[in-house]
A and B are shown apart, each in its own frame.
Chain A
Amino acid sequence: AQSVTQPDIHITVSEGASLELRCNYSYGATPYLFWYVQSPGQGLQLLLKYFSGDTLVQGIKGFEAEFKRSQSSFNLRKPSVHWSDAAEYFCAVGAQGSQGNLIFGKGTKLSVKP
């Protein structure tokens, strides 16, 4: 069965520090991988996605993620965190089959210290 694991429930970083949010997936084929961000009271916004090709993908708001097939990982990174990045981050994999629904991890809540 397909699944996504985000091992860190809550992470706190200082403003200006670097960030890495971990994501591991279980999938039988080449996955479609996504990172979404959810700010308080808001819907989910797509940060970036990986379908194929270059394993380092760039997204919005200065985020990037690297697909590592050997580690079944798709970690999200940002070199310098801003206070406005405080939110909950969800990693997701596109389900097998044609319907296209997403399977999400349980999320990592990011807090940013001034």
Chain B
Amino acid sequence: GAGVSQSPSNKVTEKGKDVELRCDPISGHTALYWYRQSLGQGLEFLIYFQGNSAPDKSGLPSDRFSAERTGGSVSTLTIQRTQQEDSAVYLCASSLAAGGAYNEQFFGPGTRLTVL
């Protein structure tokens, strides 16, 4: 079956612009995760959804970052007024359910964001 898909694969934007990154999880997966992979920093957890709700938003690096999930499926990560330090690869993952990390997370190929 189809895996996790993300769009766009690459996004180049100018500093100060808003961007939207999209994640389409595996069908039937109720848990969805966003991570950021910055050069030399490894992967950093941003936010997690169980269904449409995000119980914990503490991983978002600033109030310029927001995310939503509608219909328990597609999720959008929005970065407002982008800064150069936002340049990174944004990875999305989904799993059958949350309730512990023992549910395998399946990762998408990521969106590479470059802020000029």
Contact = CB atoms under 8 A, between A and B. Distances in A.
Interface of A: 32, 34, 36, 41-46, 49, 51, 90, 92-95, 98-107
Interface string B28-63: 000101010000111111001010000110010000
A103 B100 CA distance: 13
Interface in B61-116: 91, 93, 95, 98-105, 107-110
Contact of A103 (B3, B45, B98, B105): B45
B41 A106 contact: yes
Contacts of B109: 41-43
B21 interface: no
Contacts of A36: 107
A100 B99 CA distance: 6
6 contacts: A43-B109, A49-B102, A92-B43, A100-B101, A102-B105, A104-B44
A60 B37 CA distance: 24
A41 B6 CA distance: 13
A43 B42 contact: no
Contacts of B56: 99
Contacts of B101: 32, 34, 93-95, 100-102
B4 interface: yes
